[in-house]
Amino acid sequence: MFQLLNNTKNNQALATLEAQPLTEDNKNMATIKDVAKLAGVSKATVSRVLNGNERVSQIARDKVKQTMKELGYKPSALAQALATNRSRTIGMVVSDLSGPFFGPIMKSAEKVIRDAGFQLVVTNGHGQEDREREAIEFMTNRPVDALILTVFALPEEEIVELHRNGTPIVLLNRRIQGFEDNCIYLDNKQGGYLATKRMLELGHDRVAFLAGHFTHPDSLERLEGYQQALDEFGIPFRQDLVFDDDYNEDGGRRMCQKLLNLKRDFSAIFCGNDLIAIGARDVLNQHGKLQSTCMVGFDDVTFAQYLNPSLSSVFFPVEQMGERAGHMALAMAGHKTAAVTHVLQPRLIERESLMAAQPND
Amino acid sequence: MFQLLNNTKNNQALATLEAQPLTEDNKNMATIKDVAKLAGVSKATVSRVLNGNERVSQIARDKVKQTMKELGYKPSALAQALATNRSRTIGMVVSDLSGPFFGPIMKSAEKVIRDAGFQLVVTNGHGQEDREREAIEFMTNRPVDALILTVFALPEEEIVELHRNGTPIVLLNRRIQGFEDNCIYLDNKQGGYLATKRMLELGHDRVAFLAGHFTHPDSLERLEGYQQALDEFGIPFRQDLVFDDDYNEDGGRRMCQKLLNLKRDFSAIFCGNDLIAIGARDVLNQHGKLQSTCMVGFDDVTFAQYLNPSLSSVFFPVEQMGERAGHMALAMAGHKTAAVTHVLQPRLIERESLMAAQPND
DNA sequence: TTGTAAGCGTTATCAC
DNA sequence: GTGATAACGCTTACAA
């Protein structure tokens, strides 16, 4: 039955294929000139009805609109951009085009941007300084009306200067002093605080922290939150329960291994992100300690809920960040939009990994 | 210590900020005209050295190059596009900007495209016909030199016609008869075959198939593979072991629930994709049957390996697909590239879920 | 209200 | 080799 369906469709496609041989320059899109000529008006008038608001007689306007339809006329965004010096395009540089973190950010940003009649252009900065610079240059030559940046490697000065030179910037996950109005970032300290506090409330008084590298400001802020929670519970901070390594599974594995090797006493682990958590779980599992260790990750990527036991995590409002970034960029590009928040609030998602164990087993 | 570092940086940024008040039109990028004037040659000559190959005297060429540097001149991609009618841009429409499946495709496509000096522009089609059409229109107005499409809803005729009208198309995950040269897709039948065969080899003679909707050609092809494997092992096909529903967790949950409710006899399950597998596992787990059921998913998304027991899956070569698509699009855009394959081969990734049970427990 | 014409920053076709 | 000059498709004063 589906075979039948398929064939019907395919025959149609085939027919079209044969009927109309491929002429390279079938691409003869109608131009504003064609419309003007056929409608018996000047290019200027056509341009006016195109841009809506001008004063054009109803009769001319109708005539032009009709002609546009007949010709299937679509204005060339390119020519418009050249003439107006605005491309209705927003650029975005992420440090990983794939991956569970940037996907949702891009998605939600793209939505608000496209709904405003703008276009989002995304490019990969790979988290490396030269690649980031190159990516940005790529975009500014297009050009773009605003730029959403997620760059960790590029020096602050360059970012600020880019903005001064006329390319409005929205900076994600990074805060530059004196440039805060252009930044959107998570309250990382609060995230670290929430996670740690909850584990302490559950009675765990020896909470390890497997962080990402402390060269990354986020890690330090999360550490501050961790410390604050300890303080509140009157538990002394122990340097020997804190580790730092890469923000990925291998980093998690190494840190957890160290923790175990050193025979440190602990019953709970706070991880710098969910990938670290996954690596750590792996090691815990090998030692039969997965079920008996309380754990909280960070970011709450999609698969955290699929793990077994499901992973508790500090939720990073990625969609929200994308949305805000989109609005902000649009505002900078001269498009009216609502006011934006610069600091996003995390919240703790409690799942099985939090309840897995009693503190003093 | 990091605080110190931060402050140093920030002060610099701040200094820059104050030194150079924001003038809206700081954006006075040098144009080809400026270069020509300062170098004492004509625009034509500058254009020639810009495009490399022409016959320009060494002395003039040097002079121009130097001047370009001094002025920090960057050609406007926009003006170039308008003049040449090629934008050095490749468009891509995906049906989900986030998600584990399209991420890697975009990523690898972007790499080959950018390495060729082209730009990738990605847009979301949301898998809905009108959105897809709109997305494509958005791109063709830019315009783009070629288009990589992942559209399931858009009618075949429209796609073929678009191509005829001068926008070269690369079509992913879909095959249109008479249009195969523009398509890149997985050998789904082979995927279904590999998964089923392996389970049969392990002694499971009652393998259920929780498929995605059979309105989707992929599902049917995978079903064919499933049947072929059964045939080879001389096991009769049983319609009552096959279900179809949405390609997501809920679909998986529903199908698995049905399977259990109907008291069908089975020891292994082949799932239409990994999300279906996740949903099904959920239900199996509730019934204490997770460990005792042999299972294979499809796509091998990143988190399959993180599940517990880890999920076996038919690997979909997403990076390869993105790469090929990029090369193919570049070739169509007039950029020389290597030959491409149109049919991609899956392979079976064996993990714990395959070994979980003995057939006749 | 409408048209003319001068841009926007390139490339490309001519002559010289 | 090199330089005018006309496109490319649109916007936008400035006139009419």
pLDDT digits (tens, 9 = 90+) for A279-301: 999 999 999 999 999 999 999 99
Is the CB of residue A83 inside 7 Å of nucleic acid strand D?
yes
Is the CB of residue A81 inside 7 Å of nucleic acid strand D?
no
* Residue ranges in chain A whose pLDDT is less than 70: 1-28, 54, 356-361
Q: Which of residues 148-207 of A touch B (CB under 8 A)?
A: 155-157, 160-161, 164-167, 176-179
Residue of B nearest to A136 (CA): B119
Cβ-nearest to B12 among A96, A122, A156: A156
- Taking the Cβ of residue A214 and every Cβ of chain B, the question of whether any pair is shorter than 8 Å is answered with yes
Three-state SS at A151: coil
Which amino acid belongs to residue A113?
I
Q: Looking at beta carbons, which residues of chain A come within 8 Å of B220?
A: 2
- Please state, in angstroms and rounded to a whole number, the distance separating the CA atoms of residues A241 and A264: 7
Test B120 with A119 for CB contact under 8 angstroms: no
Check residue A69 and give its pLDDT: 96
Dihedral sign for Cα A136, A141, A142, A143, please. positive
pLDDT digits (tens, 9 = 90+) for A101-136: 899 999 999 999 999 999 998 899 998 999 999 999
Q: Say which residues have a Cβ less than 8 Å from residue A270's Cβ, sequence separation at least 6.
A: A192, A195, A196, A199, A207, A208, A209, A210, A226, A295, A296
Cβ-nearest to A141 among B20, B77, B96: B77
* Å: A326 CA to C8 C1': 28
- Taking the Cβ of residue B79 and every Cβ of chain A, the question of whether any pair is shorter than 8 Å is answered with yes
Residues 72-101 of A with CB under 7 A from strand C: 79, 82-83, 85
Which of A160, A301, A306, A321 should one mutate to test binding to chain B, selecting the residue with the greatest count of B CBs within 10 A? Answer: A306
- Taking the Cβ of residue A127 and every Cβ of chain B, the question of whether any pair is shorter than 8 Å is answered with no
- Please state, in angstroms and rounded to a whole number, the distance separating the CA atoms of residues A139 and B62: 27
Q: Which structure tokens are listed for B54?
A: 């022409």
Test A2 with B217 for CB contact under 8 angstroms: yes
Cβ-nearest to A107 among B2, B98, B302: B98
N-term to C-term CA, chain B: 61
Cβ-nearest to A78 among B142, B217, B220: B142
Check residue A357 and give its pLDDT: 62
Check residue A358 and give its pLDDT: 61
Q: Looking at beta carbons, which residues of chain B come within 8 Å of A164?
A: 16-17, 20, 22, 26
Check residue A265 and give its pLDDT: 86
| Nucleotide with the nearest C1' to A64 CA | C2
Cβ-nearest to B99 among A77, A82, A103: A103
**Whose structure tokens read 């999920």?**
B311
Query: Length of chain B, please?
Result: 361
| Nucleotide with the nearest C1' to B83 CA | D8
Q: Which residues share a beta bridge with B296?
A: B270, B312
* Å: B106 CA to C8 C1': 33
Test B303 with A303 for CB contact under 8 angstroms: yes
**Digits of tens for pLDDT over chain B (361 positions)?**
233 233 333 333 333 333 333 334 445 689 999 999 999 999 999 999 999 866 899 999 999 999 999 999 999 999 999 999 999 999 999 999 988 889 999 999 999 999 999 999 999 999 899 999 999 998 998 889 999 999 999 999 999 999 998 899 999 999 999 999 999 999 999 999 999 999 999 999 999 999 999 999 999 999 999 999 999 999 999 999 999 999 999 999 999 999 999 988 899 999 999 999 999 999 999 999 999 999 999 999 988 998 888 999 999 999 999 999 999 999 999 887 777 889 999 999 999 999 966 655 4
Q: Which of A322, A324, A325, A320 is CA-nearest to residue A346? A: A320
- Taking the Cβ of residue A355 and every Cβ of chain B, the question of whether any pair is shorter than 8 Å is answered with no
Q: Which of A239, A279, A237, A236 is CA-nearest to residue A257? A: A279
Q: Looking at beta carbons, which residues of chain B come within 8 Å of A143?
A: 76-78
φ, ψ at A11 (rounded to 5°): -65, -35
- Please state, in angstroms and rounded to a whole number, the distance separating the CA atoms of residues A50 and A39: 14
Q: Looking at beta carbons, which residues of chain A come within 8 Å of B156?
A: 9-10, 12-13
Which amino acid belongs to residue B182?
N
Chain mean position to CA A18: 44
**Whose structure tokens read 């008479």?**
B178
Q: Which structure tokens are listed for B231?
A: 């045939």
The 8-class DSSP code of residue A347 comes to: E
Is the CB of residue B76 inside 7 Å of nucleic acid strand C?
yes
pTM of the full structure: 0.87
Check: CB of residue A95 under 8 Å from CB of residue A123: no
Test B16 with A278 for CB contact under 8 angstroms: no
Which of A78, A124, A216 should one mutate to test binding to chain B, selecting the residue with the greatest count of B CBs within 10 A? Answer: A78
Three-state SS at A345: coil
Helical axes B318-332 vs B102-115, angle rounded to 10°? 40
Query: What pairing do the DSSP bridges indicate for beta strands A169-172 and A119-124?
Result: unpaired
Q: Which structure tokens are listed for A170?
A: 């929205």
